Amino acid sequence: MRIVLLGPPGAGKGTLAGLIKDSLDIEHISTGDIFRDEMKHHTALGAEMKKYVERGELVPDEVVTKIVENKLKNPIFEKGYMLDGFPRTSKQAKDLDEILNRMSTPIDFALYMEADLELIVQRLTGRRVCRKCGAVYHVQNRPAKVEGVCDVCGGELYQRADDNEETIRKRMEVYYQSTTPIVEYYRSQNKLRQVDGNKDSAELCKDVLKMLDEKQRHKN
């Protein structure tokens, strides 16, 4: 199954992907994680991307699309994947369709998660991420057992540089301007499936698995 996860920052795309990837036996590809990894390792790409990511602006379409295209050639993605944070503009969505049409592996569903703005800001300002394994926590909603330490691998938890109120505001503006048109793009292809991103992640995960199961059964 090939799924695009759509929704504003803080809707819970990454958390959901982490919860359902094993159940669906598919991979999780997050373009934001790819950039943060490049930045962490001080690569040339990371240095180039840093100014966009830290300001909450979008990395140029051609750069991010090329990265995704190269990644999708890896055979580990043949079993299916969830794209998280890509596409983010109409151009990226159209280019992705072209790439996947050439590979004869079109997207099956676009899962659209909406959440209230207040909740988004609360989620993002309290979000903490493990430097080592990328596990995601929240200081109130999902605290680590030991403050500042990852439950999974013992790595250090940190706050993303772009999870501050000013940059969050910018990211939301960018989302509404550049990314929301994609919702209509997938709706017009009859691939859009909407879920409630206000729900807590365990409940949402159950809803999504049930919905995907029903859709798959109707397809077969």
Which residues carry out catalysis? 13, 88, 127, 160, 171
Residue with CB nearest ligand AMP? 32
Specify whether the CB–CB gap between 35 and 12 falls below 8 A: no
Specify whether the CB–CB gap between 50 and 145 falls below 8 A: no
Q: Which CB, 8 or 192, lies closer to ligand AMP?
A: 8
Specify whether the CB–CB gap between 21 and 30 falls below 8 A: no
Sheet of 2-6: strand order equals 27-30, 81-84, 2-6, 109-114, 192-196
Specify whether the CB–CB gap between 3 and 111 falls below 8 A: yes
Q: Which CB, 171 or 193, lies closer to ligand AMP?
A: 171
Q: Which CB, 24 or 64, lies closer to ligand AMP?
A: 64
Angle at CA 157, nearest 5°, toward 155 and 160? 130
Q: How far is the CB of 167 from ligand AMP (least distance, A)?
A: 8
Q: List residues binding ligand AMP (CB under 6 A).
A: 9, 31-32, 35, 52-53, 56-59, 64, 85-86, 88, 92, 162, 171
